[in-house]
Amino acid sequence: MFVVAPMPSASAQSASAAACLGELRGRDLLSSADLSADQTHALLGLASALKQGQLRVDLSGKVLGLIFLKASTRTRVSFSVAMGRLGGQVIDLDPSVTQVGRGEPVADTARVLSRFVDALAIRTFEQREVDEYAHWASIPVINALTDLEHPCQALADYLTLQEAFGELEGLTLSYVGDGNNVAHSLMLCGALLGVNVRVGCPPDFAPDDGILQRARSLAAAQGARVEVVHDPVAAVRGAQALYTDVWASMGKEEEKEAREQAFAGWCLNEDLLAEADPRAIVLHCLPAYRGLEISAGLIEGGASRVFDQAENRLHAQQALLAALLGGV
């Protein structure tokens, strides 16, 4: 059973936000675009309330299963701690010690696990694999990172932006680097929130065109813009948030040297920060290679919100688990 009890100093959530969160009960989160604008705002509001201790959520008796086929620090730990703080449990279904890693069909695994656990968070390579789990499972399935998207990261990122500036609508987030899974979810989630998202990348490393067109359609409905430019200075000019990620994502390590050459001149550094809004914050989803995609000075400097951003993975995922597993 899901219980939300206000702490003495908390104010009640608005009826509309509660309704939006209630709509998420039992749902999957496979893409940032699986949420509506109102649902995304409501999740950020719930995450903020949980972070500030304004709400208490009881998911005792609920169990989250983790299936991670890629290495993870922040995602694995934040999901585990989030579920524990909500009173639930986590079972780590390590592929090396379960049949998951021995070729058991997803259709069988998903149906069996649906009888044991209450939700699955899956980190894998191909998007079609989380889609297949969602098709066969009768419990919520969460995309904990695929090669196409990273929706949980985007929720934490926009929670960080909201903390820094209050209202999100009309802000500009500039992402400088590879048009990868993080860039995709930043575009989609930002579009829903009315944030202008500007992706700067070399021409051969642009985001997926289908994701780009979907993000532009969502952004237009919110009066926002999603752009792709191929000059780092043009990408960051006037932006309130500067964001980057590693140039060679997991699974593309063999391209590391070639990508370092292709991205020469694209390091997020003090010169680029000087082109942004004077209030601009610096973000990186970590792990970071200082001196490559970001300068050491920026990640450790006064504009950095990188470690607040990492902490917010915990709070955003608490909110997501609370909504998917309980309803409000």
Among the listed residues 123, 184, 214, 259, the single catalytic one is 123
Q: Catalytic annotation on 245?
A: yes
Give residue 99's domain range.
3-149+312-325
Question: What tens digit of pLDDT does each residue of 102-112 get?
Answer: 789 999 999 99
Q: Where are the alpha helices (DSSP H) in the chain?
A: 15-22, 37-51, 74-85, 106-113, 127-136, 151-165, 181-192, 209-221, 232-236, 256-262, 270-273, 296-299, 306-325
Predicted model pTM:
0.94
pLDDT confidence of residue 103? 83
Pair (120, 195) in one structural domain: no
285 is catalytic: yes
Q: How far apart are CA 289 and CA 304, in angstroms?
A: 15
Of 13, 20, 147, 153, the active-site residue reads 153
Q: What is the pLDDT of residue 76?
A: 97
Give the pair of three-digit tokens for residue 127. Answer: 């998007």
For residue 108, which phi and psi values (nearest 5 degrees)? -75, -45
Three-state DSSP state, 83:
helix
Secondary structure letter of residue 301 according to DSSP: S
- State pLDDT tens for residues 233-286: 999 999 999 999 999 877 677 788 899 999 999 999 999 999 999 999 999 999
Same domain as 131, residue 217:
no
Active-site position among 74, 198, 313, 315: 313
Tell me: pLDDT of 327 over 80: no
Q: Catalytic annotation on 222?
A: no
pLDDT computed for residue 328 by the predictor: 52
Please report, for the domain that includes residue 163, its CATH number. 3.40.50.1370
Quick one: pLDDT at residue 3? 41
Whether 162 is catalytic: no
- Asked whether the beta carbons of 114 and 150 are under 8 A apart, the reply is no
Q: Please compute the mean of the pLDDT values over residues 189-194 and round it to a whole number.
A: 98
Has 123 been annotated as catalytic?
A: yes
For 134-138, what is the mean pLDDT? 98
pLDDT score, position 293:
98
User: Are 108 and 189 part of one and the same domain?
Assistant: no
**If phi over 0 gives left and psi between -120 and 50 gives alpha, with beta otherwise, what is residue 3?**
beta
- Residue percentage of the chain with pLDDT more than 90: 88
Please check whether residue 158 is in contact with residue 193, taking contact to mean a CB–CB distance below 8 angstroms: yes
Exactly one of 118, 245, 259, 315 is catalytic; name it.
245
- Do 304 and 157 belong together in one domain? yes
Mean pLDDT throughout 89-106?
89
Cβ atoms of 222 and 191 within 8 Å: the answer is: yes
* pLDDT value at residue 101: 76
Residues 163 and 298 in one domain: yes
Instruction: State pLDDT tens for residues 46-69.
Output: 999 999 999 999 999 999 999 999
Between the two ends of the chain, the Cα-to-Cα distance in Å is 11
Same domain, 145 and 290: no
Q: Annotated catalytic residue: which of 150, 184, 284, 315? A: 150
Q: What total number of domains does the chain contain?
A: 2
**pLDDT band for position 9 (cuts 50, 70, 90):** very low
